[in-house]
């Protein structure tokens, strides 16, 4: 069935449905978990994705749709089920699911990006460059095959619009030049798309109080060991082949000499979490740039401690929820 026909059929169904059902049209089908965030925060989520894309040299892909849309669910399932598609999205895209409601939500955003999902139906895809420029708008009817979406067609679309890999040596050269000009040392940190602790470190570094302090003292340079051309070789050159894990970072003077690394007394601190790791991290910062004040270092340490406590609280809440669910199952048995 073509997109336009499916859209017309959906519209007629909505118009002829009784009001109680119409009121719940945004609800997912029975037994299906909600996928599309229904809060009015789509613009914020897109902006956050653009910021991550800029840092990671990736694209943002908006998937317009809603929970009532079976084809939206099918595409989402494919993205999680197919290994190649899932990896491509993890490595090269920030995916943002934006609800369309009854084709009456987030129309201002759609207009800004020339996304005509009203005329083409959903799911509808918009790919953005990290600066918010529209790279592609894509109806998904042409990506279908045999009652679903064709993984090969989806992969071809994603591959055609992915960002050009960064040159790791060029990124490092630019950072060292900035260091020479500003007098601030370079914080060269290594990560990869699959590394959860790397993402946590990068997210923490963008928190406003943290970012303000780090930018006063350091030149930020991230190298992706998997995606950046020559990234793995530079990582191995600095670690001398030692198995340190990632995230790993090194502080460099403008001439390229090493001032400090993330290797503390107990090994690589990665994203500092324990008290010992946090102490080793703040010590390395002070070693790299003695102008860090005690108050600044304490602010950073307190932020890392708060981050740890938030993760622990979230993990406890998840455990409690599972325990409550298991208890209900036992009562019903």
Across the range 195-218, mean pLDDT stands at 96
In tens, the pLDDT along 58-78 reads 999 999 999 999 999 999 999
The predicted structure's pLDDT at residue 216: 98
The predicted structure's pLDDT at residue 27: 57
Share of the chain above pLDDT 70, in %: 89
Across the range 84-105, mean pLDDT stands at 97
Tokens of 133: 């420029």
DSSP 3-state of 63: strand
Angle at CA of residue 267, ends 315 and 232, nearest 5°: 90
Task: Indicate the helix (H) or strand (E) that contains 300.
Answer: helix 294-332
d(CA 105, CA 36): 12
The predicted structure's pLDDT at residue 220: 97
- Name the pTM for this structure: 0.83
In tens, the pLDDT along 119-172 reads 999 999 999 999 999 999 999 999 999 999 999 999 999 999 999 999 999 999
Which pLDDT band, with edges at 50, 70 and 90, does 20 fall under? Answer: very low
Which pLDDT band, with edges at 50, 70 and 90, does 329 fall under? Answer: confident
Furthest C-alpha separation in the chain: 72
- The set of residues, in sequence order, having a beta carbon less than 8 Å from that of 202 and lying 6+ positions away, is 52, 55, 56, 191, 222
Q: Which residues pair with 137 in a beta bridge?
A: 126
Residue 2 has pLDDT above 80, yes or no: no
């Amino acid at each position: 069935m073509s997109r336009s026909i499916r859209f017309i059929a959906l519209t007629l169904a909505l118009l002829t449905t009784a009001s109680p059902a119409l009121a719940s049209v945004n609800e997912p089908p029975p037994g299906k978990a909600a996928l599309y965030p229904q809060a009015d925060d789509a613009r914020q989520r897109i902006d956050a994705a653009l910021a991550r894309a800029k840092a990671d040299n990736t694209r943002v892909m908006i998937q317009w749709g809603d929970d009532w849309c079976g084809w939206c669910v099918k595409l989402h399932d494919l993205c999680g089920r197919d290994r190649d598609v899932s990896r491509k999205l993890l490595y090269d895209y920030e995916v943002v699911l934006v609800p369309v409601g009854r084709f009456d939500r987030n129309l201002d955003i759609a207009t800004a990006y020339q996304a005509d999902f009203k005329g083409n139906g959903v799911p509808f895809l918009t790919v953005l460059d990290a600066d918010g420029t529209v790279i592609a708008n894509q109806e998904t009817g042409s990506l279908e095959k045999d009652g679903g979406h064709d993984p090969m067609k989806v992969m071809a679309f994603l591959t055609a619009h992915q960002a050009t890999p960064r040159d790791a040596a060029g990124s490092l050269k630019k950072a060292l030049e900035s260091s020479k000009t500003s007098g601030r040392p370079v914080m060269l940190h290594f990560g990869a798309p699959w590394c959860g602790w790397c993402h946590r470190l990068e997210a923490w570094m963008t928190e406003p109080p943290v970012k303000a302090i780090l930018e006063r003292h350091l030149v930020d340079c991230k190298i992706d060991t998997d995606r950046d051309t020559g990234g793995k070789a530079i990582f191995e050159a600095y670690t001398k082949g030692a198995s340190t894990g990632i995230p790993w970072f090194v502080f460099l003077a403008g001439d390229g000499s090493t001032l400090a690394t993330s290797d503390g007394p107990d090994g690589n601190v990665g994203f500092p979490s324990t008290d010992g790791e946090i102490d080793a991290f703040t010590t390395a910062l002070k070693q790299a740039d003695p102008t860090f004040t005690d108050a600044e270092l304490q602010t950073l340490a307190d932020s890392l401690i708060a981050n740890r406590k938030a993760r622990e609280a979230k993990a406890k809440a998840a455990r409690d929820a599972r325990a409550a669910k298991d208890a209900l199952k036992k009562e019903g048995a």
